[in-house]
Structure 1
Amino acid sequence: MADKQWLQDGKWAGRVAFITGAVTGIGLGVAQAFADAGMRLALSYRNEDDKARTAEWFAEKGYEQPLFAKLDVTDRERFAEVAQQVVDHFGEVHVLVNNAGVSVFGPTDEASYDDYDWIMGVNFGGVVNGLVSFLPKIKASEGRRHVVNVASMAAFLPGPQAGIYTASKFAVRGLTESLRYNLAPHGIGCSLCCPALTRTNAWASATKRPDSFKDSGFAPTREGELEQFGTAFEEGMDPYEVGTKILAGMTEQKGLILTHPEHGPDFEEMHEKIMAALPDEEAPAGRLKIEQLRRDAMKAAEEGLVVQLDDLT
């Protein structure tokens, strides 16, 4: 378990956070860690029973009840309504955690348009909708502010059954790593979080497929297949621990928050493959200059300067 000293340091006390997919799994773990740090919360949910259990946890702790907002993260109109509702209720909003997602797998060569539209629509489109709805309101607020986009280790590590899921997480990774440079001049932190195996029911996402995306190219799962797959999640990290690591990463202003230590061999192999793929030849001076300008611009942006296109040539 991560050192929880910073839970009591008061740096986030009183800050208002909105978390999507926040009444189960990692979202709930984040909400609980934030509540322990004294933050005020607005939480999106889909299931009334999960909402009730979450409200009961807050009541048992003696914490302020969150503002609960029923939300399908693909619904842009509703997302905008929720963002305004949060500001109307709390006065400001300081932290956005885009967490909601679906874990759906199948061979990519058999995928249908509905498979792509559903998985990308939730996992990437939901993040986009959160940013468009909440960033203007976070920019208008004051003090310590932060955006966390929760992706997955799939943002780095592809798999044979996870093509669309992996694509959605790669997209969140690329978006977040670029967004960090845009938010720095506004004094807003930005983190990409890539959890690995966590003790959640994410494996059951395929059973919650909307009728509007019913035409899947994936073969129906065999009886008991999903449940067997779900047993792997029992070995996962406690969602609350993921939440505390996200909060610690925010406090330390980390651009990348990796919660699980077991992927060192994967990253070492990835680094070796990338370096081996580089051509063993000299680059011309003009290209070297342009790439150095890019590196300098990235450092300047991270330090809070606004980078224009002119800075890149």
Structure 2
Amino acid sequence: MGETTKRHEGRVAFITGGVSGLGFGIARALSNAGFRLALSYRNEDYRAQAEDWFREEKREIPLFVKLDVTDRARFAEVAEEIEAAFGRLHVLVNNAGVSVFGPTDTATHADYDWIMGVNFGGVANGLVALLPLLKRTGKGGHVVNVASMAAYLSGPQAGIYTASKFAVRGLTESLRYNLAPEGIGVSLLCPGLTRTNAWDSAFRRPDAFAHSGFEDIDPEALTEFGKAFDLGMDPLEVGEKTLKGIEENRGLIFSHPEYAEDFEEIYRTSLAALPDEEAPPERLEIERLRREANRASAAGQAISLADLT
């Protein structure tokens, strides 16, 4: 891993949360391929450590921009800073997120607002702020929205987190149709267990969202849970698989192979849930038109509501 090539020399990428964890793995993979980078951060120590890596590797120092991805006004400023620094943007990676767990039935509005605001709202804010520059840069651009395998797999301790990732999945799959006529690719990245510090998000809960319905944090239990992340995939490997997905314009990027059993169960359960009866011809025709419109959109044709009926 980590082989250096200049096949993307001169292209520009922006990665939110790009100075640590998965974001930094993606940043290193793109830098190894020749990309110039803008990276958002919140933690000064992580930013400094990332800068040290670029300096040690004798790479161009990225444009570091301090950003809370829920801050729409600041996101608009960041878009202007990136355009001023580079004049263009080829790849947008909406990566920043929080991993917070707790039983959904006890969650408060603060739990929903924080987790959904960062994990889904941060992606939406990135699209609103940066898509105009990506479009002005022209064909060949790409958007990667980072979700997780939680975009497909649910569990008893991850209800709001899972909802945020399901939302990112639906948004991304639809956006791919919208941007195909612009010549811009869109990918949903769903990593599995990765060797990062994502597990400690609960320690960094903002005061504005302090009124949680989840149980009080047990630092020892959460730290013990975090040890599982040490067994995860190297973030650089995930980053290199992400770059390959961008280059191949794949709509879906899976980095981990260990989920075949889950997808088989989802497939069987979904088919079994369909009523065993004939659908009327009129409804079948509507669904045929929908499928045709989707295929035409994926091929680069702009689709309107009139094409769906």
Per the normalisation by structure 2, the TM-score is 0.98
Q: Does 2:184 align with 1:210? A: no
For the Cα contact (< 8 Å) 2:21–2:196, is it kept in 1?
A: yes
2:253 is aligned to: 257
Q: Does 2:76 align with 1:65? A: no
2:158 is aligned to: 162
SS at match of 1:8: coil
Could you tell me how far apart the structure 1 residues matched to 2:125 and 2:217 are? Answer: 31
Could you tell me how far apart the structure 1 residues matched to 2:6 and 2:180 are? Answer: 23
* Counterpart residue type for residue 305 of structure 2: L
Deviation per CA, 1:67-107: give whole Å up to 9, x if none.
00000000000000001100110011111000000000000
Query: Offset at 1:57?
Result: 0.5
Could you tell me how far apart the structure 2 residues matched to 1:60 and 1:189 are? Answer: 33
Deviation per CA, 1:216-235: give whole Å up to 9, x if none.
00111224011000010010
Could you tell me how far apart the structure 2 residues matched to 1:180 and 1:191 are? Answer: 7
Could you tell me how far apart the structure 2 residues matched to 1:147 and 1:189 are? Answer: 6
Q: Does 2:160 align with 1:152? A: no
Bigger drift between 140-149 and 272-281 goes to 140-149
Which of these residues, 113, 124, 129, is aligned with residue 120 of structure 2?
124
For the Cα contact (< 8 Å) 2:181–2:301, is it kept in 1?
A: yes
1:275 is aligned to: 271
1:186 is aligned to: 182
* Counterpart residue type for residue 292 of structure 1: R
Q: Does 2:68 align with 1:37? A: no
1:227 is aligned to: 223
* Counterpart residue type for residue 5 of structure 2: Q
1:239 is aligned to: 235
**Structure 1: gaps spanning 5 or more residues:** none
Could you tell me how far apart the structure 2 residues matched to 1:289 and 1:205 are? Answer: 47
Could you tell me how far apart the structure 2 residues matched to 1:138 and 1:65 are? Answer: 22
* Counterpart residue type for residue 81 of structure 1: E
Matched positions, count:
309
SS at match of 1:103: coil
RMSD between aligned alpha carbons? Answer: 1.1
Could you list the runs of 4 or more consecutive aligned residues of structure 1 that deviate by over 3 angstroms after TM superposition?
none
Per the normalisation by structure 1, the TM-score is 0.97
- Residues 304/269 of structure 1: CA separation in 2 closer, same or farther (3 Å cut): same
- Residues 56/115 of structure 1: CA separation in 2 closer, same or farther (3 Å cut): same
**Structure 2: gaps spanning 5 or more residues:** none
Could you tell me how far apart the structure 1 residues matched to 2:209 and 2:170 are? Answer: 26
Could you tell me how far apart the structure 2 residues matched to 1:204 and 1:215 are? Answer: 18
Deviation per CA, 1:6-33: give whole Å up to 9, x if none.
x6371x3211100000111000000000
SS at match of 2:145: strand
Query: Offset at 1:177?
Result: 0.2
